[in-house]
Amino acid sequence: MNADRTEFAVDPTETRTPPGGAPAAAAAGTVGAPTAWWLVRRWLPTRALTVLLLVPEVFRVFGDVSYYYRSMAGLFGRAGLGETLREYPVPSIGVFALPRLVVGDREVPYVWTFVGLMLLIDGAFSVALWRSAGHRPTPGLRLWLWFLPALGPITLCRLDLVPAVLAGGALVAVLRRPVLAGALVALGTAVKLWPAAIVPALWLHRGGGRRSRWWLLASGGVTAGAVLLAVAAIAGGTRLASPLTWQSDRSLQLESYSALPLLIAGAVRPDTWRSEYTRFFAFEVIGPGVSAMLVVSTALTALAVVGLAVLWLRAARAGRSAPAAPGLLAVGTVGLMIITDKTFSPQYLIWLGALTAALGVTATDAGTARLHRLLLLVAVLTQIVYPNLYSLLAELHPLAVALATLRDGTLVALTWLALHRFWTLTGRPVAGRS
């Protein structure tokens, strides 16, 4: 018997995945299969609902897009590329520049063109989820369709949809097209850095053996190297580090987990703690204990890195694992990033949305369904907090703080479930050889 065909035992409730990466049901035949019209009939109304939710909150949610417009007006005027949007990696400026190139120096058309661009990117990802499952709906696709209206219009008014879709696309592609997956995750990292964190998870895929994993790294490395050289040549070497410098200079953001104890205390004693809008375009907590909680955040981040390294090494040493394992580790990794960091903005949840949707293409077990329900609950609670009650949260109002606490607890449960499921799937003994 061939040792290369050795597989781990998997949960009997987990859908087995054929070599193409789609659930077994997708490969069973085409009789009675849904057509592309199935996707269109669900994508259009859910996106219309997302845009409709934007209308009453347009002035709050469009603030960042107006900022993008003003920055592009400066760039197309006299500002240099090295001084434009220094909190973002240079490649992201290409995304911000596209609406400007289409509509020119007009703010309202720019804003709506940006929304249209995000809808196009979302539509492309929806089609990718559909195609990757053999042109059939999967739990992951259904999750993505409802995730955007659940989280609300912020999904269409922030850059974060772009790296999220690139990272989710890498997770979908890694089984069959590791070269494409490497390029996608590198491009996502070029736009907003965080997708680099899922590379260890992508390495665990077993679709094409060790060679395919090296192709994944080679593709990602070549793409990343080309981007770095281009940025250094166009904007200068110091511009490469400006997003990291910007992030490190920030203090304790209002919605971060490490700020939560101070928010709860501030809801009880509002004269002791307050929030303040800072030069980092975010509300940060002011008052006793902020420095201590920043130390706590740093310590938790270090512990998370160690814990993830242990999980990865355990899985890598075990050999073959279930198809869902890379997606579960990716979701757990990004969840821990959000939980332990000193910053947390609502749009970060878009990262989790795309990764969990990609996971749902190959995993249709009960555990994945629970992840989907938890994520939708997190998204709905987040939309209530931002934009609807954000002014109350900035005032440390007890109701807003309570809802933020409930949201944060649900996100912890989601992250724990993903990592626990990963631990279970990667720790099972080899079932046998065939």
Sole residue written with tokens 């090494």: 313
Residues 374, 417: contact at Cβ < 8 Å?
Answer: yes
Residue 14 pLDDT:
39
Distance CA 94, CA 96 (A): 5
Distance CA 60, CA 386 (A): 9
Distance CA 14, CA 28 (A): 17
Residues 381, 149: contact at Cβ < 8 Å?
Answer: no
Residue 13 pLDDT:
35
Residue 39 pLDDT:
96
Residue 16 pLDDT:
40
Residues 127, 60: contact at Cβ < 8 Å?
Answer: no
Residue 155 pLDDT:
97
Tens-binned pLDDT, residue by residue, of the chain (434 aa): 333 333 323 333 333 444 344 444 444 344 456 789 999 999 999 999 999 999 888 778 899 999 999 999 999 988 788 889 999 999 999 999 999 999 999 999 999 999 999 999 999 999 999 999 889 999 999 999 999 999 999 999 999 999 999 999 999 999 899 999 999 999 999 999 999 999 999 999 877 677 889 999 999 999 999 999 999 999 988 999 999 999 999 999 999 999 999 999 999 998 899 999 999 999 999 999 999 999 999 999 999 999 999 999 999 988 767 889 999 999 999 999 999 999 999 999 999 999 999 999 988 888 899 999 999 999 999 999 999 999 999 999 999 999 999 999 999 999 999 999 999 999 754 444 33
Please give the full DSSP string across 336-385, using - where no structure is assigned. HHHHHSS---GGGHHHHHHHHHHHHHH--SHHHHHHHHHHHHHHHHHHII
